[in-house]
Every structure is written in C-alpha cells, then in structure tokens.
Amino acid sequence: MREADKSKQDDHSDDVESRVDAYSHYRTVSDKVHDDINEAVDAFSFLNSRWSQGIGLTPQSASSAKRAILRASKRLLYEIRMSRGASPELAKIHDRWVDGDGWVRLLEDADLRTERPEFLSQMVDDLVRAGWELGYLKSGRIEREPQTEESETEKQVSEMFE
C-alpha cells in the first residue's frame, strides 16, 4: 500500500473514531445530566416529605439534598442561558433562577434544616422542564411510527426492481 493511500486511510479512521468518541462523550454527559435531574427530584421529594410530616433534617441529609438540587441546577444553568432565546419557557426559568434574588443564589444561602424555601418546588419543576426542553429527559426514548401497509420508501424501492 502506498504511503499516501495509507495516510488517507489513517485520516479516515481517526475521523470515524472521533465521531464515535464524540457520541460516547455526549451519551455519557447526557446520562449524567439525566441522573442529576432525577436525583434532584428525589432530594426535593425527601425534603418535602420530611417537612410535611414535621420531621427534622440532620445536617448531612439537608446538605445532601441541597447539593443534589444545586448540582443539577448549576449543570443546566449555562445551557438554559444559551438557549433562552429559542424558548420562552427557558427564558422564564433563567429569569427566576438568576435575575435579582435568583433562586440559585437563594438556595445556595438557605439552611434547609431551619428554612423551607417557597420557591423550591417550582425550581425543581423548572429543572425537569429544562431537562425536557434541552433533550436530556427525552434521550434514549424510542418513538415508534404507526405501522402502515408499506412506507413510501419501500414502495419506491419495490418499483425500482419491478
């Protein structure tokens, strides 16, 4: 094999490997964001259950729940900021989270053992909405098309070989 041909082949295999790596990295990040959002929802459910039953929180459980909600919020905040022009819903979320006394800062300063922030339920709902809008909660979902007798493509292929 000539060196020029071998070089072209190596270049192509690097390109394919890069595309596969990029997809693998996207999938890993997407899965992590998905998990972080679900952990934030679980953390809020834990907090809300304790609060509604009048059961106190240990410093560790309050810190763990707060960390889960902040981790997901901070992870999505940049994407929400960058995508807010394309989605009115993301723009509203961004405004609630960042502008003035934004919810992210208020949560950072909150002591969940002694406070029950009124905005926290909506903030977690915002996390789920943002995750959906940005595609993290849709990833991996299989959408099925209704079965028809024969798709248009299949008809065209059949006609070509008749």
State residue 28's pLDDT score: 79
Which DSSP string do the residues of 110-141 spell out, in sequence order?
A: --TTT---TTHHHHHHHHHHHHHHTTTTTTT-
> Nearest Cα to 32, choosing from 63, 70, 75, 67?
75
Confirm whether pTM is higher than 0.75: no
Q: Is residue 155 part of a domain?
A: no
Q: Is position 45 within any domain?
A: yes
Q: Number of folded domains in the chain? A: 1
Query: Closest Cα partner for 97 from 130, 64, 49?
Result: 130
Whether 99 and 77 have beta carbons less than 8 Å apart is answered as no
Span 52-70, pLDDT tens digits: 999 999 999 999 999 999 9
Mean pLDDT (the chain) is: 81
Structural domain span for residue 80: 3-137
Predicted pLDDT at 142: 47
